[in-house]
A and B are shown apart, each in its own frame.
Chain A
Amino acid sequence: MITLIPIGFNLFAAVLILVLTRIKANIGRVWLIASILSLTNWGIILGLRWLYPLQIKFPDWFPIGEISQRGITLQLDSVSWPLLLALCAVQTAVIITDSSRLDEIPSPVIWSGLYLVYTVGFLAVLSSSIITILLVWALVDIIEFIILIRNVISDQKINEIVVSFAVKILGLSIFVFGLLISYEQGTPLRIGQEANSIGFIILIAVGLRLGVIPFNLPFVSGSPIRRGLGNSIRMVSVVTSMVVLLRLPMGTFDERVQSILLTLTVVGILFGAIMWYGSSSELEGRPYWIVTMAGLAIYSSINDNQIATLAWTLALILSGSVLFLFSARGRKLTVIPLLAVIGITGLPFTPSAIGWQGLITSGGIIRNILLILSVSIIILGYLRHATIADILLSQKEKWIWLTYPLGLFILILSQWLIFLISDLNWYTSGILFASIVAFVLPLIILFSIRKFLRDSEYTEFLQRIFKPIGNYIIKFLSFRWVYDLIWSFLGLFQRIVNVFTNILEGQGGILWVIVFLVMLITLIISGDLT
């Protein structure tokens, strides 16, 4: 039952916030209670580090059949605990940094919803059976869909949300298909067991949910939802997908298949990194951040390095959230995202150092170079977005000067705590040359841009050249041409189906049936069927 404490606590908090909102409590007080509750839950989860492994099982979720691990299983172990703490840290950070955005919050009930979103996230992280993962995936997708659809007003955005939902459900269906194939092969898929021959299918499923394979971007133009809730939905969704990669080791691929997969993923990562850098703001670039960082995690997973996958996933969630919640700024405050950058670089003995071991492999030198380049661009983009001027914290009330940085800092602290106290033994120097190049290169470029290009007369000229090329690349890599092709094919198919339908359901349809019946009767009389 201890496993359920964080979930129960979050649910309790959600109900309490709801009650406080109903009795029209002051928004400041509600915020304070929400913050304290979230911080307490973070402390509880931190404490659970010394209690795992823990498991809770609800056997026989479904009454019939020998469905693989048909019970609902939640497990707290060395894989789920870091993700659980990371999610709770993001929850806490969102609520605490909301102090700087209180005037934008329509109602404190939003925190109640936030707690519910993270509760589902906790469930996803703790999932330890195939059925649980499938159910939680669906739950996350449905909740995300409901929240987003209630917060948009334009038809274009609605279409994007529906397409995004459809792509995720497609990913879920492909995962089910993979499960069925595992039955056909006589080795039903189980948690902890190597996915092997269906690893490719699982990758496609996860990739579709994240937008890596093929490179689709449900929400390329970003969502109008505010930082807190928007970031929460995105991160919870990411974690639910990544859990599968962490729970189901990919095993060994055929060498050629692996090479193709890695190359495709690198292309996605590089493209995402460039787009991330080129985005007008961090919120606009968030889908690219997710795609790129998730790409790094997937790349590590294909190379069968689970800890590297976890390291990149944590960087995605925690370092990413620092920037996405960085709404009020100031010169001194910039130090916080700069600290968070350390968590992405993979410098020796830092949280992501082990991540490089999942990326840099002995074969494929071009891929290695492209990966180093990609991480450099990611860092460059991160620094660029972190240093863009925005609302100043100094314009806010003084108590916010204390709470807001604390909220951001908890994310960095969590990443380091996970690194230092988890039992995954990931203190490593990583791949020294890769991390140093990836760290130094963006610094040099950033410095050069600031020094030489900012006000250069060539900037506009260069933009004029690169923009059309960029647009062309986006068009190609976004696979829109593939979708257009598919739509044309479907249009043709639709016409065929309509003709067929009209024949059978039209006035003459009954004649066709009678012809068919007569054929059958003739066969029976002639005894051919016997």
Chain B
Amino acid sequence: MSAPLIWIGIPLIFSLMLFIIRGNRLLTLIIGGGISAFLALLALTFKIESVFPLGPISLEISSTFTILGRNFVITDSERLIVALLYSMCAFWIFGSRISGTNSFFVPNVLVIITLFVAALSVQPFLYAALIIEIAVLISIPIFFQRGQPVKQGIIRYLVFQTLAVPFILFAGWGFEVAPTSVDSQAAYYQAGVLLAIGLGLWLAIFPFHTWVPLLARDGHPYSAGFIFSMIPTTIFIFFLDFFNTFSWLREETLLLTICQILGIVMIVLGGLFAAFQRELTRLVGYAVMVEIGFSLLAISLNQVIGWQSYILIMIPRIIGIAICTLAISIWKNKELNIDFDSFHGVYYQSTFAVLGFLVGWFTFSGLPLLPGFPTKLPILIGLSQLTITPLIFVSIGLFGLFVAGFRFLAIIFSTRHNENEIESESLLQKIYFSIGIVLLIIMGIFPSVVLNPFLEILSAFANLK
């Protein structure tokens, strides 16, 4: 028995099975969410490359699985990454119960996460680009809406993600031939630039960011939220692996400077666009831009505090995106126009969804008492120790997010339309949002207690500790 077989093979088989029975939504959800949660739990408890006595027999989980000459390797230090991905998978699958996503969501999400695990474990890494592309292709059906054509945002998402693949492949090839090249330094640089463009396309870094707000607008909000949270998380871990493997990347000040500049551009643009945006769906897209910007800033610090923040910032981000997009999905399902003007007095009609959205939004904004604050502050402090100018721009971006939040606040409590529209939310919705809100608040009030265990993820990257 090998680890890749357990965490890649088994969920692949299950997702295929779920695809067949996807008509039975509840069963699909229970099996899909259950298997994800089980795999996450397994990753947390079972040690790879250790022998487990099971009565008369003993079981050893090896780290490597070889197929067609390619290796899939999940080492013991990578268990936490696998656990994180599967626990988030379970979180998204269970959340889909009230989001109104289509029947493809559960099986496809399970297979996408499985493919992400495969992409992070495949060797040589060149194949990761292809596996991620397959995951992107599989993600398209989760945006399908009955009787509606595929919209611009979905097409653009597919185009940009696909465009990234040749750059990553060329970069991989460049890294392989660079040591034997006549001018190896130049080859490394060119490979590095290609890698940067590829990652830029994957991560929606400026100017390749345009698919984010468009996908938020045109796709199902919850499905878009899943893509916004899980693709960057996976790519960022993938990116971390590069930094861990190639020491010259860590020492290349030009690359770190580019990361910093792009991070600031993402934060400023995301914040400013959000401040003037009236569509809630696109608003979340801009918040995602700001979040990606913060991850880039964390990288640019090239210090332990930066790597740690880089990991910690992912956790509230995923929950924040989930809770915000879930709220939007519910409003969209009620055929509410997702424009600020339609939200007068919505607080009185869907209190929990509104509170969930606000808690998620102010988590992105970095409001103290919510987890966005303790996870972003170390990045800002790290940045301020270098120079103060970027901070001014970052503040502008965060200010933009706050402005958007306050504009929303002023509208939702308005009493203009709420006289005859008091409508209670279902118990399930209340439970879901309460869990999300409580999770974020606990993370914000006791960050040390809740977030500390996630730092173990860095143990997979020995050079970044």
Report A's interface with B, CB cutoff 8 A. Answer: 60-67, 134-135, 137-139, 142, 149, 153-155, 158-159, 162-163, 165-166, 169-170, 172-173, 176-177, 180-181, 183-184, 493-494, 497-498, 501, 504-505, 507, 509-510, 512-513, 516-517, 520, 523-524, 527, 529-530
Contact = CB atoms under 8 A, between A and B. Distances in A.
Given A181-B388, A497-B276, A517-B197, A65 B207 contact: no
B282 to A, nearest CB: 9
Contacts of B207: 504, 512-513, 516
Interface in B363-402: 367-369, 373-374, 377-378, 380-385, 387-388, 391, 395, 398-399, 402
A509 B210 contact: yes
B194 A524 contact: yes
Contacts of A66: 305
B377 A67 contact: yes
Contacts of B208: 513
Contact of B414 (A135, A139, A158): A158
Contacts of B368: 134-135, 137-138, 172
B464 interface: no
Interface string B324-347: 000000000000000000000000
9 contacts: A62-B377, A63-B447, A138-B369, A170-B402, A176-B377, A505-B214, A520-B197, A524-B190, A530-B189
Contacts of A67: 377-378, 381
A166 B402 contact: yes
A520 B206 CA distance: 13
A63 B448 contact: yes
Given A184-B384, A184-B387, A505-B214, A61 B378 contact: no
Given A67-B377, A155-B415, A501 B448 contact: no
Given A60-B448, A181-B384, A505-B213, A497 B272 contact: yes
Contacts, number: 138
B410 interface: yes
B185 interface: yes
A107 B85 CA distance: 48
* Interface size bracket, B side: 35 or more
Interface string B397-430: 0110011001001100111100000000000000
A199 B367 CA distance: 23
A507 B152 CA distance: 8
B314 to A, nearest CB: 14
A219 to B, nearest CB: 15
Contact of B410 (A65, A159, A501, A527): A159
Contacts of A516: 207
B448 A61 contact: yes
B409 A498 contact: no
Nearest to B159: A510
B121 interface: no
Nearest to B452: A63
Contact of B381 (A61, A158, A180, A493): A180
A497 B414 CA distance: 27
Given A138-B368, A513-B207, A513-B208, A61 B402 contact: no
A397 B304 CA distance: 68
B262 interface: no
B384 A183 contact: yes
A65 B381 contact: yes
Given A177-B395, A180-B384, A184-B385, A61 B194 contact: no
B364 to A, nearest CB: 14
> What are the 8 tightest A-B residue pairs by CB atom distance, in nearest-first order?
A138-B368, A180-B384, A65-B378, A162-B410, A64-B308, A63-B452, A183-B384, A530-B186
A173 B197 contact: no
B385 A64 contact: no
B369 A142 contact: yes
Contacts of A137: 368
B284 to A, nearest CB: 15
